[in-house]
A and B are shown apart, each in its own frame.
Chain A
Amino acid sequence: NAGVTQTPKFRVLKTGQSMTLLCAQDMNHEYMYWYRQDPGMGLRLIHYSVGEGTTAKGEVPDGYNVSRLKKQNFLLGLESAAPSQTSVYFCASSYGQERGPRMGTDTQYFGPGTRLTVL
């Protein structure tokens, strides 16, 4: 049981390049999330998904796109990278409503992170 995994762990991009970050979870979680962590800002939600085939915008969605074609995978794409997107990106997953309301469904499990530098 690997939990939540992210690839790649590190990446350096030039301004204008594109890339896709992959998140995979083996816990059969319904909900998945992408966050970015910047110094002094905590974790900010970029996009999230409440089930296969669904996506929704979070707090800071501009410049990012996501897809959830399979329940276990959640992809984060940068179409044209900018230096402002230099950050550490975390994926997370949670059970969602399957387990019923308030039964620990807000507990999110995080991946190890991807450190992205845009030059």
Chain B
Amino acid sequence: DQQVKQNSPSLSVQEGRISILNCDYTNSMFDYFLWYKKYPAEGPTFLISISSIKDKNEDGRFTVFLNKSAKHLSLHIVPSQPGDSAVYFCAASDGDYKLSFGAGTTVTVRA
């Protein structure tokens, strides 16, 4: 049973607008969360992370929000750019250095 779920397989957004990607998890032992970005024919690359002791982490255009009580996190991309078109994976760890991944959300940024 998948412990990390990304319920939206795809997202289309206009250039310059905000992209919001959502992720839910079921394992209450998860305490570290990451987002990875993947272009076709390449491996995933680390984008941003957040520890469970925080509820927000920001890095340039990317912000991750964590709601522990709802077991939910989201990634905001503002403003969205054409180069942001990719697959985004949510991942979580319970401290043993293994990651559980969601199925991914494909983001398409329209000009």
Contacts and interface: CB of A to CB of B under 8 A. Distances in A.
A50 B89 contact: no
B103 A106 contact: no
Contacts, number: 60
Interface residues on chain A, size class? 20 to 34
Contacts of A104: 49
Contacts of A44: 101
A110 B97 contact: no
B2 A107 contact: no
A109 interface: yes
Interface string B24-37: 00000000101010
Contacts of B49: 104, 106-107
A42 B46 contact: no
Contact of A42 (B51, B93, B103): B103
Given A48-B98, A102-B32, A106-B49, A112 B93 contact: no
Given A48-B98, A96-B97, A107-B34, A112 B103 contact: no
B43 A106 contact: no
B44 A110 contact: yes
A31 B43 contact: no
Given A42-B2, A42-B89, A42-B104, A106 B42 contact: no
Interface of A: 4, 31, 33, 35, 40-45, 48, 50, 58, 90, 92, 94, 96-97, 101-102, 104-113
Given A106-B34, A110-B43, A113-B42, 10 more contacts: A40-B103, A42-B101, A43-B44, A43-B89, A58-B98, A90-B44, A92-B43, A106-B97, A107-B46, A112-B43
